[in-house]
Amino acid sequence: MASDAPIGVFDSGVGGLSVLREIRERLPNESLLYVADSGHVPYGEKSPEYIRERCATIAGFLLGQGAKALVLACNTATAAAAAELRERYPDVPIVAMEPAVKPAAEATRSGVVGVLATTGTLKSARFAALLDRFASDVRVITQPCPGLVECIEAGELGAEGTRELLRGYVEPLLAEGCDTLILGCTHYPFLKPLLHELVPASVSLIDTGAAVARHLERLLNERGLLGSAAQPARFWTSGEPGQMERVLPVLWGKSTDVQSFPE
């Protein structure tokens, strides 16, 4: 596998762009391919079987485009499909992600941690195992957030409706004494400006995008696969390319063409 081959990154939608940004920052010499499965969003309310099938299709596409590594920039997809993808492609470095329970359990001073994530992530066996392993000494309160992903897909990051939905999810956690909030879905880092308005400054917000980029760097380095020159990032969506093109300037920081994902 050539080290200048691209890295394939995907999510149920545009949320994984929060991870793609961290990868771009950490690894500026890597060429990036991104698939938003926005025609099938939200994964959070879908069955694990459905998500596994989508992930297999998208991973196959990205590898067909020459990807040297894959990043599942989606907590929900990781819970449903990471193990199967690793089994199917044992020679491909695959980076997946899950809610940052360990760092949050270490960071909390009140001993109460809140987790904002999708229903699918919170219901998964993988998440239960994460709590068993790292959260036995703290109280963890989980909060599924249906509807939030759709607000971000629509680019409504600061809209009144988004704020009210988010307020309804966050206030009960604050009332229980949470001083640390895990953003356990890759869409949610885009709501940090709103969250900063809704939670006191003493509450830490923890997400895993930067850690994923570091882990990816380590894996590529170990295999001699670090790139040396980046091509411009390329984007596909299974939703409306025009809609993704409208939100990219905010979520990715520049205007870029988006192609239709070939089903």
User: 10 Å Cβ neighbour count for 174?
Assistant: 16
Integer Cα distance of 66 and 31 in angstroms: 11
The nearer residue to ligand DGL, 9 or 225, going by C-beta atoms, is 9
44 in a labelled binding site? yes
Shortest Å, Cβ 100 to ligand DGL: 12
Whether 74 is catalytic is yes
Residue 15 found at the interface with ligand DGL (CB under 6 A): yes
Rounded to 10 degrees, the C-alpha dihedral 12/257/212/157 comes to -70
By CB under 6 A, is residue 74 in contact with ligand DGL?
A: yes
Is residue 18 at the binding interface for ligand DGL, with CB under 6 A as the rule?
no
Q: Which H/E stretch holds residue 250?
A: helix 241-251
Q: Which segment (103-111, 184-192, 204-212, 222-230) binds ligand DGL by CB under 6 A?
A: 184-192
According to CB under 6 A, which one of 12, 180, 208, 238 is a site residue for ligand DGL? 12
Pinpoint the alpha helices (H) of 203-240. Answer: 209-222
> Which of 6, 7, 8, 11: binder of ligand DGL (CB under 6 A)?
11
Torsion of CA 20, 56, 146, 247, to 10 degrees: 40
Has 187 been labeled as part of a binding site? Answer: yes
Active-site pick, 55, 151, 178, 185: 185
- Contacts of residue 140, defined as CB under 8 A and 6 or more positions apart, other chains included, come to 101, 105, 113, 114, 115, 131
What does the per-residue mask of binding to ligand DGL show for 109-128, with x meaning CB under 6 A? ---------x--x-------
Q: Is residue 99 a contact residue for ligand DGL (CB under 6 A)?
A: no
Query: In sequence order, what E strands does the chain have?
Result: 7-11, 32-36, 69-72, 94-95, 112-117, 139-144, 180-183, 204-206, 234-237, 258-260
- Interaction site with ligand DGL (CB under 6 A): 11-13, 15, 41-44, 74-76, 118, 121, 149, 185-187
Catalytic positions, written as ranges: 74, 185
